Amino acid sequence: MAERLFHAEPAEALRIVPLDDFTLVFHRPSGLTHLVTAPAPEILAILAGGPRTRDALLQRLAEAYDLADPSPEALDARLAELVAAGLVRAA
Amino acid sequence: MSEQDETPPAEGTTRRRALMLGAVGASAIVSIRPALAQTNASVINCEIPVPDAGRAGSYIAADGSVVPAGTPGAFPPATFAFKGEDVKTALGGGQLPGTTYEQSQAYVKYIRRLQSGTSGFTCFASLQMPRG
């Protein structure tokens, strides 16, 4: 399960607009707009650089940010939301 | 001793902003479907339970807060979820169906306090959107 690779949607499929406390993500293929909060934009930004496993993603997040709760379970929950929203694919 | 401020990166290090992966009980994503954003029909058909399923059975105080069942002066939960259309009418000064005046006022205050991640929030948020 930890070996699954998570892919971001291609950059041209997304229009990302950071607002004050939220980030708007327009997904062109579906026409859906997603209002996301941290850590979703940070996860999308890292995955935009290439697919990663959950563990590799967690490691990268921990390098880039001061993680208050470096929990694999919490990251799984956030990834599941992104997959359900259609912004990330798991393979 | 503040560590979470976005201080400029020190030499040889990257900026490390504080980040929480797991906000308890809160989803990081609210999705807005085009149909909900653009058509009256979807707004009219969406529903707002009072209170939300996570607090089913709790009473609603006159100020809209959720209080334990049986609290004196508070109102019992609504027996059915309100339709977006009914809520829109109530937000404009009308009364929710099947409620007394005071009960409707308390429920409307509850609905106005809905937060992201609570069931009914997306419906309430869509009622606030201006229509072209």
Q: With 50 as the cut, is the pLDDT of residue A91 above it?
A: yes
Q: According to the model, what pLDDT value does residue B129 have?
A: 60
Task: Write the pLDDT tens digit of every residue in A4-58.
Answer: 999 999 888 899 999 877 899 988 877 788 888 889 999 999 999 999 999 999 9
Q: With 80 as the cut, is the pLDDT of residue B118 above it?
A: no
CA distance B98 to chain A (A): 34
Residues 16-35 of chain B with CB under 8 A from chain A are: 16-23, 27-34
Record the pTM. 0.51
Where is mean pLDDT largest: A18-22, A58-62, B81-85?
Answer: A58-62
First-to-final CA distance of chain B = 50
- Give contacts of A9 with chain B, Cβ < 8 Å: none
Q: According to the model, what pLDDT value does residue B53 have?
A: 82
At A83, give phi and psi (nearest 5°): -65, -45
* Residue A59, amino acid: Q
Query: Which helix H or strand E contains A45, and what residues bound it?
Result: helix A40-47
Task: Write the pLDDT tens digit of every residue in B91-111.
Answer: 888 999 999 999 999 999 999
- Distance of alpha carbon A10 from alpha carbon A5, whole angstroms: 15
Long-range CB pairs of B8-16 (<8 Å, 24+ gap) are: B14/A63, B14/A64, B16/A64, B16/A65, B16/A66
Q: Cβ-count burial of B85 within 10 angstroms (0-12 exposed, 13-18 middle, 19+ buried)? A: middle
- Percent of all residues in chain B with a pLDDT value above 90, rounded to a whole number: 37
* Residue A85, amino acid: A
Sign of the Cα torsion A62, B27, B56, B128 reads positive
Over residues B1-12, mean pLDDT: 45
Residues 99-118 of chain B with CB under 8 A from chain A are: 116
Over residues B41-52, mean pLDDT: 77
Lowest mean pLDDT among A82-91, B39-48, B57-66: B39-48
Partner residue facing A40 (CB), from B3, B29, B116: B29
